Amino acid sequence: MYVAVKGGERAIESAHAWLAEERRGDTNIAELSLPQIREQLKLAVDRVMAEGSLYDPDLAALAIKQSRGDLIEAIFLIRAYRTTLPRFGASRPVDTGAMDCDRRISATFKDLPGGQVLGPTFDYTHRLLDFKLAAESEVPDAPTREVSSGAVPHVTEFLNQEELIESAPHDDTPPPDLTREPLEMPADRALRLQALTRADEGFTLGLAYSTQRGYGRNHAFVGELRIGAVTVEMDIPELGFAVEIGEVTLTECETVNQFTGSKSEPPQFTRGYGLVFGQSERKAISMALVDRALRWEELGEDYVGAPAQDTEFVLYHADNIQATGFLEHIKLPHYVDFQSELELVRKLRREAGEEQFQEAAE
Amino acid sequence: MTEYNFAYLDEQTKRMIRRAILKGLAIPGYQVPFASREMPMPYGWGTGGVQVSAALLTPDDTFKVIDQGADDTTNAVSIRSFFERTAGVATTTATSEASVIQTRHRIPEDALTENQILVYQVPIPEPLRFLEPRESETRKMHSLEEYGLMHVKLYEDISRHGHIATSYAYPVKVEGRYVMDPSPIPKFDNPKLGNMAAIQLFGAGREQRIYALPPYTQVVSLDFEDHPFEASKADHPCGLCDATDSYLDEVIIDDQGGRMFVCSDTDYCTARQAAGHKGKDAA
Amino acid sequence: MEAQTLSGGFDNPAVQSSHAFRNIMEAMARPGQIHEIKGAEPPAPLSIAGGTVLLTLCDTETPVYLAGNADNDEVRAWLAFHTGAPLTGPSRAMFAIGDWKALMPLNAYRIGTSEYPDRSATLIVECAELAASGAKLRGPGIKSQAALSLPEIRAFQSNQALFPLGLDFIFTNGVRLAALPRSTEVA
């Protein structure tokens, strides 16, 4: 006898209870605290904030804990939370020129005003497992020096003075808002950058890498990479002036790209731009390369059919929350569609069989 | 977060969705872009349907959710409990008692009435997507009523297989104008789309589209004079309720490949069994 | 601020707007069918139904055109306070409200584009009478035939001829409303 399966509700509850138990793991091991995650897994926290499009280190830490370290799941938690938040207004554009830089390097000039500041980087570390860390050793204080005062101007400004790089005039057009309006083609640069800054790091990296290997090559130099805190200000109409509402850490990458000119543009360097919440050089550089590749049309370059040049392809597939949801939905029941395919295949096979039989008889 | 707004979504989001629904109803079969929100469930798992339901539910509604025709499939259970919690609506598994039915992949067997609304979860709303992956192109094709590619595809099936090899998500033409994806319902369900007394709304969250069929809309499954559309299903009666007119799931019941066929619409099947109908595999 | 500006909105926006929307949706889905909606108490000359439609569908993202005597200080202040909708002329309006004469000419409104026919205006027509008689209606949403007291016929025929482009109409009178989407054939 056949009894239809019931009790989905109970099964779901039990699965969730089991998940909670697994998340905690062995209870003889101390539980992770949110400050531990926030301070010691900072780059994971930064990625969750960047791709979750919400700057809140404590919430990102909570999401990482809840998701058992699955960062895409954590990003999803942050996105779903973010969408319920009321919107009070928009901040003023942040001024990355006034950034309090922890790190600032240029690959195009040996030295420059503001200097090269390595900052807390994995670069030049030898990737050898440090077994001392396994023993929870104390870390000696890093050497310090006085902060050099004075502004840290953008490298591209020097090139701009000689008109060697395309100008990027100030533009006060309010940017579109990807989270409030459906994505539409053609997408202008502001919209593309918005999509790229929250795009999946791996996807963006892969695309950027493909441009370096020749799929839409754009000869990028890292004009400048800077990481540090900037203040966020908001205009309060009732007060008539802007007030500081907080500080965010950003990674900014400006690439300087070779450009021999086109029908519409003179030979000069061109720009690619990346800006990401938190500290994420890989993402910021990748973003700048992909941004530059997507600009082929406005610069009058040829479309060579490279994936990184294809705005529709890039923007519609860069979001890991959309991608993972749709990818994973194929594990949901599909018996109804599958049944209709079964019937069709059986029918086609039956008819093919009959034809063969007929041919054999003839 | 401790307090949700009624039906989870904030009012501004609901207004945006409501405006899209109205335009969808005014232009049957046309896909209205809408700024789909991130929902607390994954894209691809019904976020479009959930947003449409959230925008139209009132506290007086009785809500039913089915996935593959069944009320007790896990994702149906999950969506139903989401609205029980966030909208406090009454829920039911009885098709006739529901005022709003959210569905994935099926149209209930019982004819729906003028007092009901059917909300479909749609994965890929664009019927031309598998012929042309670019949104910018398919949008042009719809605007110019350029549906030749779709007919060529269907006809190629016929020349290769002797049949149209599309068995679900079978494309339809609405009021002689827009070619529309009916969501991945089996083509067995296609004839129910047209002339339905209930309002039909389609929500695709990830793809950010809403479209609609007002009641009594003309919906025609694409076909050819020499190869007319044919709704098909497994050629068996239901093993439990003996129905011969319902869409059937095939269930494997033993290691020898023994199988039986049962109604995919669990409410339909249960009601028939309660009324005394008995199939050959029933206890 | 005038007391009238602050009052006349929804007491329980989530629930009241859900009921109002369902009736608007039913009306749009079943052209000619008359429904009742209430919840808003807008300043004169707006009807309760007209005001309720505005509160249910409009916000800062929807430019509204107040036509004729619907454009007065009280209505402006009330709409701004309860919806934040920006006021605009007919050519940019997503919604327009007023009596039939004041809303003219129809070719001033957006009818959508062939790629985006949804980017078209919805006109809320305040009517002195609203009855299920008069012009004969056929099309999606109508089982065989419906009837509605339309202010005229030819304008709606020309609008229908634009399909899938065109305007959509909501007719209001007191607490009652009916709708006529662009898909409806009028005779």
Is B276 among the residues known to form the active site?
Answer: no
Backbone angles phi, psi at B22, to 5 degrees: -65, -40
How many CB atoms sit inside 10 A of residue A221's CB?
16
Check C164 against B178: CB less than 8 A apart: yes
Residue of chain C nearest B60, judged by CA positions: C19
- Using CA atoms, how far apart are residues B264 and B269, in angstroms rounded to an integer? 8
| pLDDT at C121 > cutoff 50 | yes
- Answer yes or no: is A355 within a domain: no
- Using CA atoms, how far apart are residues A101 and A230, in angstroms rounded to an integer? 9
- Answer yes or no: is A71 within a domain: yes
Q: In this structure, are A268 and A301 located in the same domain?
A: yes
Task: Return the partners of chain B (3 or more C-beta pairs < 8 Å).
Answer: A, C
Bridge partners of A104, per DSSP, are A117, A226
- Using CA atoms, how far apart are residues B62 and A324, in angstroms rounded to an integer? 32
pTM (2 d.p.):
0.91
Comparing CA positions, the residue from A191, A188, A216 lying closest to residue A290 is A216
Comparing CA positions, the residue from B98, B125, B105 lying closest to residue B36 is B125
- Answer yes or no: is A133 within a domain: no
C185 touches chain B (CB under 8 A): no
pLDDT tens digits along A30-77: 999 999 999 999 999 999 999 999 999 999 999 999 999 999 999 999
Give the best residue of A14, A66, A67, A84 to mutate against chain B (max B CB count within 10 A). A84
pLDDT of residue A345: 87
- Per the structure, the complete domain to which residue C160 belongs is given by 3-186
Residues of C in contact with B213 (CB under 8 A): 140
A163-to-A11, A231, A268, A272, C144 alpha-carbon distances in Å: 66, 30, 8, 16, 71
pLDDT of residue B130: 87
- Answer yes or no: is A232 within a domain: yes
Q: In this structure, are A156 and A296 located in the same domain?
A: yes
Domain final residue, candidates A20, A52, A82 = A82
CA A58 to chain centre: 19
Is B29 among the residues known to form the active site?
Answer: yes
What is the rounded average pLDDT for all residues in chain A?
90
Q: In this structure, are A55 and A156 located in the same domain?
A: no
Q: In this structure, are A33 and A75 located in the same domain?
A: yes
- Per the structure, the complete domain to which residue A76 belongs is given by 10-82
| pLDDT at A5 > cutoff 80 | no
pLDDT of residue A1: 44
C84 touches chain B (CB under 8 A): no
Closest approach of B267 to chain A, Cα-based (Å): 12
- Answer yes or no: is A336 within a domain: no
Is B269 among the residues known to form the active site?
Answer: yes
Catalytic residue among B29, B46, B203, B239: B29
pLDDT of residue A132: 86
- H or E, element range at B140: helix B135-143
Read off the CATH number of the domain in which C67 is found. Answer: 3.40.50.11310
Residues of A in contact with B188 (CB under 8 A): 340
- Using CA atoms, how far apart are residues B26 and B178, in angstroms rounded to an integer? 13
C115 touches chain B (CB under 8 A): yes
Between A56 and B227, whose confidence is greater? Answer: A56
Closest approach of B277 to chain C, Cα-based (Å): 34
Q: In this structure, are A250 and A104 located in the same domain?
A: yes
- Answer yes or no: is A134 within a domain: no
Between B282 and B191, whose confidence is greater? Answer: B191
Nearest-10 Cα torsion for C92, C95, C99, C105? 30
Between B207 and A167, whose confidence is greater? Answer: B207
Residues of C in contact with B11 (CB under 8 A): 13-14, 17
Residues of C in contact with B32 (CB under 8 A): 118
Query: Could you tell me what percent of chain A has a pLDDT over 90?
Result: 56
Counting the structural domains of chain C, the total is 1
Between C50 and C3, whose confidence is greater? Answer: C50
What is the rounded average pLDDT for all residues in chain B?
93
Closest approach of B178 to chain C, Cα-based (Å): 9
Pairing mode of beta strands C64-66, C185-186: unpaired
Check B106 against A336: CB less than 8 A apart: yes
Domain final residue, candidates A35, A55, A82 = A82
B136 touches chain C (CB under 8 A): no
Query: Could you tell me what percent of chain B has a pLDDT over 90?
Result: 80
Q: Are C181 and C168 in contact (CB under 8 A)?
A: yes
Eight-state DSSP code of residue B181:
-
For tokens 């569609």, name the residue.
A337
- Using CA atoms, how far apart are residues B128 and B133, in angstroms rounded to an integer? 8
| pLDDT at A4 > cutoff 60 | no
| pLDDT at B212 > cutoff 90 | yes
Give the best residue of B4, B32, B38, B72 to mutate against chain A (max A CB count within 10 A). B38
pLDDT tens digits along B44-101: 899 999 999 999 999 999 999 999 999 988 899 999 999 999 999 999 999 999 999 9
B208 touches chain C (CB under 8 A): no
Is B241 among the residues known to form the active site?
Answer: yes
Closest approach of B52 to chain C, Cα-based (Å): 12
pLDDT of residue A262: 74
Confidence grade of residue C172 (pLDDT, cut at 50, 70, 90): very high
Q: Is the dihedral of CA A46, A52, A58, A62 positive or negative?
A: negative
- Using CA atoms, how far apart are residues C81 and C77, in angstroms rounded to an integer? 6
- Using CA atoms, how far apart are residues C121 and C92, in angstroms rounded to an integer? 8
Q: In this structure, are A276 and A233 located in the same domain?
A: yes
Confidence grade of residue B2 (pLDDT, cut at 50, 70, 90): very low
CA A270 to chain centre: 23
Residue of chain B nearest C162, judged by CA positions: B27
pLDDT tens digits along A63-119: 999 999 999 999 999 999 998 887 788 899 999 999 999 999 999 888 888 888 899
Q: In this structure, are A49 and A193 located in the same domain?
A: no
- H or E, element range at B7: none
Complex prediction ipTM: 0.97
Residue of chain C nearest B57, judged by CA positions: C18
Tell me the three-class secondary structure of C95-116, residue by residue. EEEEEHHHHCCHHHCCECCCCC
- Using CA atoms, how far apart are residues C104 and A69, in angstroms rounded to an integer? 61
Map residue B116 onto helix, strand or coil. Answer: coil
Is B148 among the residues known to form the active site?
Answer: no
- When CB atoms are compared, the residue of B69, B162, B167 closest to A343 is B167
Q: Are C53 and C96 in contact (CB under 8 A)?
A: no
Give the best residue of A312, A336, A345 to mutate against chain B (max B CB count within 10 A). A336
Amino acid at site A71 = L
Closest approach of B233 to chain A, Cα-based (Å): 7
Nearest-10 Cα torsion for B85, B86, B88, B89? -100
Q: In this structure, are A28 and A113 located in the same domain?
A: no
- Answer yes or no: is A237 within a domain: yes
- Answer yes or no: is A43 within a domain: yes
Rg of chain B in Å (alpha carbons): 19
Residue of chain B nearest C182, judged by CA positions: B26
| pLDDT at B1 > cutoff 50 | no
Map residue A108 onto helix, strand or coil. Answer: coil
For tokens 């926006």, name the residue.
C13
Amino acid at site A104 = R
Closest approach of A313 to chain B, Cα-based (Å): 8
pLDDT tens digits along A200-218: 999 999 999 999 999 988 8
Backbone angles phi, psi at A271, to 5 degrees: -120, 145
Bridge partners of A271, per DSSP, are A256
Residue A355: half-sphere exposure toward Cβ, Cα within 13 Å: 8
- Using CA atoms, how far apart are residues A91 and A251, in angstroms rounded to an integer? 18
